[in-house]
Amino acid sequence: MVQGNVDAPRRAVHDPYGDAIEILDPPFYRKEFEDAYRFIVDDYAVVPKAIGLFLPCAVRKPYSQSPSHKLFCRIIGTVLDPEDYHIAIFGTCGAVPAELECMYPYRSYRYMLGKTMDGRIQRDFHRIEVYRLKGYLEKTRYTYQRRLAYCIGPFRAAMAEASATTGITVDLLPSDPTIERLYDVGRPFPEGSLSMPEYIDEFREGLLRLSRSIGSKT
Protein backbone atom coordinates (compact mmCIF):
# COMPACT_ATOMS: atom_id res chain seq x y z
CA MET A 1 0.00 0.00 0.00
CA VAL A 2 2.76 2.47 0.92
CA GLN A 3 5.02 3.36 -1.96
CA GLY A 4 7.71 5.98 -2.19
CA ASN A 5 11.18 6.73 -0.92
CA VAL A 6 11.16 4.06 1.78
CA ASP A 7 14.89 3.41 1.74
CA ALA A 8 16.16 6.98 2.14
CA PRO A 9 19.19 7.10 4.46
CA ARG A 10 18.95 8.59 7.93
CA ARG A 11 20.59 12.00 8.34
CA ALA A 12 21.15 12.79 12.00
CA VAL A 13 20.75 16.50 12.82
CA HIS A 14 19.48 18.40 15.84
CA ASP A 15 16.36 20.53 15.92
CA PRO A 16 16.25 23.96 17.66
CA TYR A 17 15.41 22.21 20.93
CA GLY A 18 18.48 19.97 20.81
CA ASP A 19 16.60 16.78 19.94
CA ALA A 20 18.20 14.38 17.45
CA ILE A 21 16.31 14.18 14.17
CA GLU A 22 17.06 11.30 11.81
CA ILE A 23 14.27 11.68 9.23
CA LEU A 24 13.80 14.86 7.20
CA ASP A 25 12.11 13.48 4.09
CA PRO A 26 8.34 12.76 3.96
CA PRO A 27 7.90 10.25 6.79
CA PHE A 28 4.74 8.61 5.48
CA TYR A 29 6.75 6.90 2.71
CA ARG A 30 9.19 5.25 5.08
CA LYS A 31 9.20 1.63 6.19
CA GLU A 32 9.74 2.62 9.83
CA PHE A 33 6.39 4.39 9.87
CA GLU A 34 4.54 1.57 8.17
CA ASP A 35 6.08 -0.96 10.59
CA ALA A 36 5.07 1.19 13.59
CA TYR A 37 1.58 1.64 12.17
CA ARG A 38 1.18 -2.12 11.66
CA PHE A 39 2.25 -2.72 15.28
CA ILE A 40 -0.38 -0.25 16.50
CA VAL A 41 -3.19 -1.62 14.36
CA ASP A 42 -2.34 -5.31 14.66
CA ASP A 43 -0.92 -5.68 18.16
CA TYR A 44 -1.36 -2.66 20.40
CA ALA A 45 -4.29 -2.66 22.85
CA VAL A 46 -6.00 0.73 23.05
CA VAL A 47 -7.80 1.11 26.38
CA PRO A 48 -11.55 1.68 25.82
CA LYS A 49 -12.76 5.20 26.57
CA ALA A 50 -16.02 7.02 26.01
CA ILE A 51 -14.38 9.62 23.76
CA GLY A 52 -11.63 9.34 21.18
CA LEU A 53 -9.92 12.68 20.46
CA PHE A 54 -7.80 13.02 17.33
CA LEU A 55 -5.20 15.78 17.34
CA PRO A 56 -2.83 16.67 14.48
CA CYS A 57 0.86 15.92 14.79
CA ALA A 58 3.24 18.79 15.57
CA VAL A 59 6.73 19.85 14.52
CA ARG A 60 7.98 19.79 18.12
CA LYS A 61 8.60 16.31 19.47
CA PRO A 62 7.39 14.69 21.55
CA TYR A 63 4.03 16.06 20.47
CA SER A 64 2.89 16.74 24.03
CA GLN A 65 5.73 19.26 24.42
CA SER A 66 4.69 21.37 21.44
CA PRO A 67 3.05 24.73 22.22
CA SER A 68 -0.07 23.73 20.26
CA HIS A 69 -0.56 20.44 22.08
CA LYS A 70 0.00 22.08 25.45
CA LEU A 71 -2.79 24.49 24.56
CA PHE A 72 -5.10 21.75 23.26
CA CYS A 73 -4.56 19.57 26.31
CA ARG A 74 -5.12 22.51 28.64
CA ILE A 75 -8.51 23.10 27.00
CA ILE A 76 -9.35 19.39 27.10
CA GLY A 77 -8.42 19.23 30.79
CA THR A 78 -10.84 22.01 31.70
CA VAL A 79 -13.77 20.18 30.10
CA LEU A 80 -13.26 16.40 30.24
CA ASP A 81 -12.36 13.94 32.95
CA PRO A 82 -9.18 11.99 32.06
CA GLU A 83 -11.10 8.77 32.60
CA ASP A 84 -13.46 9.70 29.77
CA TYR A 85 -11.11 10.23 26.82
CA HIS A 86 -8.17 8.91 24.87
CA ILE A 87 -5.99 10.97 22.51
CA ALA A 88 -4.61 9.74 19.20
CA ILE A 89 -2.23 11.78 17.05
CA PHE A 90 -2.57 11.74 13.27
CA GLY A 91 -1.15 13.34 10.16
CA THR A 92 2.22 12.77 8.52
CA CYS A 93 2.96 10.33 11.36
CA GLY A 94 -0.01 8.09 10.49
CA ALA A 95 -2.26 7.34 13.49
CA VAL A 96 -0.58 7.08 16.88
CA PRO A 97 -2.01 6.64 20.39
CA ALA A 98 -0.63 9.62 22.31
CA GLU A 99 0.99 7.41 24.94
CA LEU A 100 3.28 6.03 22.21
CA GLU A 101 4.60 9.45 21.17
CA CYS A 102 8.15 8.56 22.25
CA MET A 103 8.23 5.24 20.40
CA TYR A 104 10.56 5.16 17.40
CA PRO A 105 10.16 6.74 14.87
CA TYR A 106 7.60 9.23 16.18
CA ARG A 107 10.01 11.65 17.84
CA SER A 108 12.78 11.19 15.28
CA TYR A 109 11.41 13.09 12.27
CA ARG A 110 10.83 16.68 11.22
CA TYR A 111 8.60 17.41 8.24
CA MET A 112 5.95 20.01 7.37
CA LEU A 113 3.53 18.87 4.68
CA GLY A 114 2.11 22.37 4.37
CA LYS A 115 5.36 23.66 2.92
CA THR A 116 5.50 21.25 -0.02
CA MET A 117 4.25 22.37 -3.42
CA ASP A 118 4.79 18.93 -4.96
CA GLY A 119 1.39 17.66 -6.07
CA ARG A 120 2.53 14.04 -6.15
CA ILE A 121 3.65 14.17 -2.51
CA GLN A 122 0.37 15.81 -1.51
CA ARG A 123 -1.65 13.14 -3.31
CA ASP A 124 0.47 10.35 -1.87
CA PHE A 125 0.05 11.72 1.63
CA HIS A 126 -3.73 11.74 1.25
CA ARG A 127 -3.83 8.20 -0.09
CA ILE A 128 -1.53 6.81 2.60
CA GLU A 129 -3.13 8.71 5.48
CA VAL A 130 -6.65 7.68 4.48
CA TYR A 131 -5.47 4.06 4.47
CA ARG A 132 -3.90 4.43 7.92
CA LEU A 133 -6.82 6.30 9.44
CA LYS A 134 -9.27 3.74 8.06
CA GLY A 135 -7.26 1.00 9.74
CA TYR A 136 -7.14 2.83 13.06
CA LEU A 137 -10.85 3.71 12.96
CA GLU A 138 -11.75 0.09 12.22
CA LYS A 139 -9.47 -1.13 15.00
CA THR A 140 -11.14 1.21 17.50
CA ARG A 141 -14.70 0.91 16.15
CA TYR A 142 -15.90 -0.40 19.53
CA THR A 143 -13.19 1.26 21.65
CA TYR A 144 -14.76 4.74 21.66
CA GLN A 145 -18.40 5.78 21.90
CA ARG A 146 -17.81 9.21 20.35
CA ARG A 147 -15.00 10.70 18.27
CA LEU A 148 -13.82 14.23 17.60
CA ALA A 149 -10.98 15.34 15.32
CA TYR A 150 -9.59 18.86 15.62
CA CYS A 151 -7.98 19.56 12.27
CA ILE A 152 -7.80 21.67 9.12
CA GLY A 153 -6.25 21.30 5.67
CA PRO A 154 -4.98 17.97 4.32
CA PHE A 155 -5.29 16.22 7.68
CA ARG A 156 -8.99 17.13 7.80
CA ALA A 157 -9.56 15.93 4.23
CA ALA A 158 -7.96 12.57 5.05
CA MET A 159 -9.99 12.13 8.24
CA ALA A 160 -13.24 13.08 6.47
CA GLU A 161 -12.66 10.46 3.77
CA ALA A 162 -11.62 7.77 6.25
CA SER A 163 -14.72 8.43 8.34
CA ALA A 164 -17.03 8.36 5.33
CA THR A 165 -15.47 5.19 3.92
CA THR A 166 -15.63 3.25 7.18
CA GLY A 167 -19.03 4.60 8.21
CA ILE A 168 -17.54 5.53 11.60
CA THR A 169 -18.69 8.98 12.63
CA VAL A 170 -15.98 11.49 13.55
CA ASP A 171 -17.04 15.01 14.50
CA LEU A 172 -14.77 17.49 12.71
CA LEU A 173 -13.83 20.82 14.27
CA PRO A 174 -13.45 23.67 13.59
CA SER A 175 -16.66 23.87 11.57
CA ASP A 176 -16.57 24.47 7.83
CA PRO A 177 -18.31 27.89 8.13
CA THR A 178 -15.72 29.09 10.63
CA ILE A 179 -12.83 27.87 8.46
CA GLU A 180 -14.34 29.61 5.45
CA ARG A 181 -14.88 32.84 7.40
CA LEU A 182 -11.30 32.95 8.63
CA TYR A 183 -9.72 31.87 5.33
CA ASP A 184 -7.10 34.41 4.24
CA VAL A 185 -5.06 33.91 1.07
CA GLY A 186 -2.59 36.48 2.37
CA ARG A 187 -1.34 34.09 5.08
CA PRO A 188 1.35 31.46 4.46
CA PHE A 189 -1.29 28.90 5.53
CA PRO A 190 -4.64 30.39 4.43
CA GLU A 191 -6.72 28.41 6.91
CA GLY A 192 -4.58 29.77 9.71
CA SER A 193 -3.60 27.95 12.89
CA LEU A 194 -5.61 25.69 15.17
CA SER A 195 -4.40 27.88 18.01
CA MET A 196 -6.45 30.84 16.73
CA PRO A 197 -9.02 31.97 19.34
CA GLU A 198 -12.03 31.43 17.08
CA TYR A 199 -11.00 27.83 16.42
CA ILE A 200 -10.19 27.21 20.09
CA ASP A 201 -13.63 28.50 21.12
CA GLU A 202 -15.30 25.97 18.80
CA PHE A 203 -13.04 23.22 20.09
CA ARG A 204 -14.04 23.97 23.67
CA GLU A 205 -17.73 24.07 22.75
CA GLY A 206 -17.42 20.74 20.92
CA LEU A 207 -15.78 19.15 23.94
CA LEU A 208 -18.58 20.43 26.14
CA ARG A 209 -21.15 18.84 23.82
CA LEU A 210 -19.29 15.54 23.96
CA SER A 211 -19.09 15.74 27.74
CA ARG A 212 -22.85 16.21 27.98
CA SER A 213 -23.51 13.44 25.45
CA ILE A 214 -21.75 10.82 27.59
CA GLY A 215 -23.26 12.08 30.83
CA SER A 216 -19.93 13.21 32.28
CA LYS A 217 -20.04 14.78 35.73
CA THR A 218 -17.30 17.33 34.94
218 residues of the chain, pLDDT tens digit each:
555 544 444 555 555 555 666 677 899 999 999 999 999 999 999 999 999 999 999 999 999 999 999 999 999 999 999 999 999 999 999 999 999 999 999 998 988 898 888 999 999 999 999 999 999 999 999 999 999 999 999 999 999 999 999 999 999 999 999 999 999 999 889 999 999 999 999 999 999 999 999 987 66
Task: Using CB atoms within 10 Å of the CB of residue 174, give its burial: 0 to 12 exposed, 13 to 18 middle, 19+ buried.
Answer: buried
**Vertex 19: Cα angle to 44 and 42 (nearest 5):** 10
Q: What is the domain partition of the chain in residue ranges?
A: 13-213
- Bridge partners (DSSP) of residue 21 are 13
Structural contact between residues 49 and 143, judged by C-beta atoms closer than 8 angstroms: yes
Q: What pLDDT score was predicted for residue 6?
A: 45
Structural contact between residues 104 and 36, judged by C-beta atoms closer than 8 angstroms: yes
- Bridge partners (DSSP) of residue 53 are 87, 148
Q: What pLDDT score was predicted for residue 15?
A: 56
Structural contact between residues 180 and 52, judged by C-beta atoms closer than 8 angstroms: no
Q: What pLDDT score was predicted for residue 18?
A: 55
Model pTM score: 0.89
Q: What pLDDT score was predicted for residue 19?
A: 61
CATH 3.40.50.10630 fits 13-213, yes or no: yes
- What is the C-alpha separation between 12 and 91, in angstroms, rounded? 22
> What residues contact residue 29 under an 8 Å CB cut-off, 6+ apart?
2, 3, 4, 5, 6, 8, 124, 128
CB burial of 116-150 (b: ≥16 within 10 Å; e: otherwise) equals: eeeeebeebbbbbbbbbbbbbbebbeebbebbbbb
